[in-house]
Every structure is written in C-alpha cells, then in structure tokens.
Amino acid sequence: MHHSKEQLAECPSNSIAHLTMLVQHHHEAIPFENRAACLVFSVDPAHADTSIGERVSLHTAKIFKKLVLDRRGGWCFEQNALFTTRLRALGYAVETICGDVVTPAMEVAHGKYLDKAMTHMLLLVTTNTSDQFLWDVGFGGRGESPIPIPVPPSAHQPSTCQEDDVGLWGIL
C-alpha cells in the first residue's frame, strides 16, 4: 500500500503510524540486494590478493549514493544503516543491534543451531510514546513488508532471554 506525502505529514511525528509509513516507503523504494557483499576473487595466482568485485561500504554517503542516487538495492547493513540515519534526522531514538537469521532448515547437529555468528543488522526504535519496536528494513528475499515487533521493557534484562527446545535463544 502506497501512502501519499500528505498522509505521511498528517501522522504524528515519531509515532508508530508514522514509522510504519516510513518503513513502507523504504520497502517500496529500495530492494534487497547482496551482490556487492559477495566479492568475486581472481583465480589467477599472480593476482590472488585482488578482487574483481565491488566492496561494500558502510559510510553513510556511499550508502546514500548507491541506494538512493544510483537506485540500487542493498543488504541488511546498508539498508538499516541508511534508515537509521533518516530516523535519527526525524527525531527517533534508534539503536542498531546485531542478530542472526535462523530458519528451520538451518538446524544442525541433533536439531541445534550452532552458528553463533551475528551476521544481521536490526533496529531498535523508540516511538514518541516511549514504546520500543524491533524493525528490520533490510531482510530480503520474501517481499512482504516489515512488521514491528514490540519489545517489552523487561526484555533488556538478561533473565528474559531463554533457550527454546531446539537450542535457539530468543527474547521472550
């Protein structure tokens, strides 16, 4: 669903409704793309230390050029970093956090997911009502709009992180 600039302007700033519209606009304008994150290295032994691929930059100006001016997509770190800059300029309190994407197909070793790498970037956004939401504008491949996940205030306490029956940790 596309919202007009007038509808966006009518929403109270820093509200969940305003944030939802901003996310929808971002999602419609910037696709997921990870080709720059997959460097192609030369197979010539004389040039084994050089890549022929594109290097990913997390510098805001370079991300803006790639995603907005060059009208390309980006992966989670690029998209969430760009969106963080925009939200902060609009007065939102935003924390960038690391996470990992886990699917049932990733379960290994007796049903346990063992990869402890944090390879995904997410946003923890505080609205004008002091509610916090976990947002992700950089998750690609499925095409649906991002959905806010309310974060209860108690979730910041380590005691609320619990392991489930297959060994995955989550905020409960």
Q: Which active-site residues does the annotation give?
A: 76, 120, 136
DSSP 3-state helix, strand, coil percentages of the chain (rounded to 5)? 35, 20, 45
Q: Identify residue 55 by its one-letter amino acid code.
A: R
Q: By C-alpha distance, which of 62, 81, 61, 71 is closest to 33?
A: 71
Q: Give 5-46 as a DSSP string.
A: HHHHHHSPTTSHHHHHHHHHHHHHH--B--GGGS--B---GG
Q: Which two tokens stand for residue 100?
A: 């990992």
d(CA 88, CA 65): 19
Exposure b/e, 137-147, CB count within 10 A at least 16 = b = bbbeeeeeebe
